[in-house]
Amino acid sequence: MCRASEIGCHDDEDNGFKADPPYRVDQPLLDRSLTPSYTRAVKLGRREFSATVALGLHILARRASAQGSAKPPRVGYLGSRNPRSTKAFFDGLQEQGYVRGQNFLLEFRAPERPDKYEEFPGLAAQLVAAGVDVILAATPSAIEATTRATRTIPIVGVDLESDPVAKGWAASLAHPGGNFTGFVLDIPEMSGKQLQFLKEVKPDLSRVAVFGDPRVNELQWKATEAAARGAGLTIQALSVRDVGEVPGAIAEAARQRAGALVVLTSPLVFNNLGRITEAAVKHRIPAICPFAPAFADAGGLIAYGPDLPDLYRRAAGYVGRILKGAKAGDLPVQRLDKFQLVVNLKTARALHLTLPQSLVLRADHVID
């Protein structure tokens, strides 16, 4: 029987063929009665055969040498240090056939702290100097830095805060052109849904505090402000540039009698969810944030937003396609369309709130 590893091997019995009988040792290779001219022809054929074999071995050796010297692709990752997101990214690459350390190398760069936006240009320059073949830019600041650092290296962006066309990163969502593509959030629709959920929790809601980082949240702020006007709500801006400002900002919202808190997305927020939710519960302010499920897992009342691990898996899919020859400018920038609603009943009890059953039943996940 032949083994599966033997390429071109066939099992004679399985294929209905009878194997040739073994050659007898005493059987001469050539009949002694063969003519001299035929014998010379056989010798010539052997010389040609030897030359062919030698040439084939030479070609195989050159191919093996070329394959052995070929460098594995180098993937750049510029963002923040988040194990859940990076794991999802690696899982997505593996689905594309790329395994870290086996057939691709990773160049990871992150600022000392997620709110150290001024470090991104230098980190982007390092990735360009390292000769990476493609870059995953996982924050707005990372995208801004990498698009300025290179016009040739393909960039796949993950951005919940920006409009890539308004920023000049893409000519259009459908046909970005250039070296950028990625995944972005439909911010106006998201803002309206967040306020809707808060109104369901507190039907008499009239004042909402909006917590964000002014360095990256301008678009989200404007969208939330417009949605609040449409819902007849007054909003209070809480601008935070440093993690140390979090407790004071939320305490100010409580002093101003804000009935609820909308937390905008930013690297600073994502890496300090526990501090934000702790302060919100302390001052008995129901809060909502698009970081789902992370915000609710950290103690926030409601998380409604894109499935972040799925987002990074999809971004890895674009990276894999680019490594296989696709051009970033030919891949459309995609608006996120997979969202999840997570509610935390433990937090609701701590806030002395009873969530509407209709809201709980619509949740994709309930923490109790």
Using one digit for the tens of pLDDT, what is the confidence trace for 147-191? 999 999 999 999 999 999 999 999 999 999 999 999 998 788 888
Do 108 and 256 lie in one domain? The reply is no
Tokens of 42: 């056989």
pLDDT, position 71: 87
**Mean pLDDT value across residues 229-235:** 94
Residue 28 lies in a domain: no
Q: Which domain holds residue 297?
A: 187-306+339-367
Using one digit for the tens of pLDDT, what is the confidence trace for 267-312? 889 989 999 999 999 999 999 999 999 999 999 999 999 988 899 9
Q: Per the structure, how many domains does the chain have?
A: 3
State how far the Cα of 217 lies from the Cα of 110, in Å rounded to an integer: 20
Do 195 and 63 lie in one domain? The reply is no
The domain boundary residue, chosen from 70, 88, 119 = 70
Do 174 and 322 lie in one domain? The reply is yes
pLDDT, position 4: 34
Residue 52 lies in a domain: yes
Residue 293 preceded by cis peptide, ω within 30: yes
- Confidence class for position 243, pLDDT limits 50, 70, 90: confident
Task: Look at the block and give the residue holding tokens 């899919």.
Answer: 317
For 188-223, b/e burial (b = at least 16 CB within 10 A) is eebbbbbbebbbebeeebeebbbbbbebbbebbbeb
Residue 121 lies in a domain: yes
Residue 12 lies in a domain: no
Strands in 105-109's sheet, in edge-to-edge order, are: 105-109, 74-78, 134-137, 155-159, 180-184, 334-335
Q: Higher-confidence residue: 23 or 28?
A: 28
Minimum mean pLDDT range among 43-57, 112-126, 234-248: 43-57
Do 231 and 362 lie in one domain? The reply is yes
Q: What is the mean pLDDT of the chain?
A: 85
- Confidence class for position 50, pLDDT limits 50, 70, 90: low
State how far the Cα of 317 lies from the Cα of 326, in Å rounded to an integer: 11
Task: Look at the block and give the residue holding tokens 């995953």.
Answer: 136
pLDDT, position 37: 45
Q: Higher-confidence residue: 189 or 93?
A: 93
Do 126 and 145 lie in one domain? The reply is yes
Do 232 and 343 lie in one domain? The reply is yes
Do 40 and 138 lie in one domain? The reply is no
Do 284 and 141 lie in one domain? The reply is no
Strands in 260-263's sheet, in edge-to-edge order, are: 234-239, 207-212, 260-263, 287-289, 302-306, 339-344, 365-367
State how far the Cα of 299 lies from the Cα of 6, in Å rounded to an integer: 58
Q: Which of 330, 311, 333 is nearest to 322 (CA)?
A: 330
Residue 13 lies in a domain: no
Do 300 and 194 lie in one domain? The reply is yes
- Confidence class for position 29, pLDDT limits 50, 70, 90: very low
Residue 87 sits in a domain of what CATH number? 3.40.50.2300
pLDDT, position 82: 84
Do 218 and 104 lie in one domain? The reply is no
**Mean pLDDT value across residues 16-30:** 35
Do 113 and 159 lie in one domain? The reply is yes
Residue 134 lies in a domain: yes
Q: Which of 311, 272, 298 is nearest to 88 (CA)?
A: 311
Tokens of 81: 């240090």
The domain boundary residue, chosen from 20, 55, 70 = 70
pTM over 0.85: no
Residue 22 lies in a domain: no
Residue 266 lies in a domain: yes
pLDDT, position 24: 36
Do 208 and 267 lie in one domain? The reply is yes
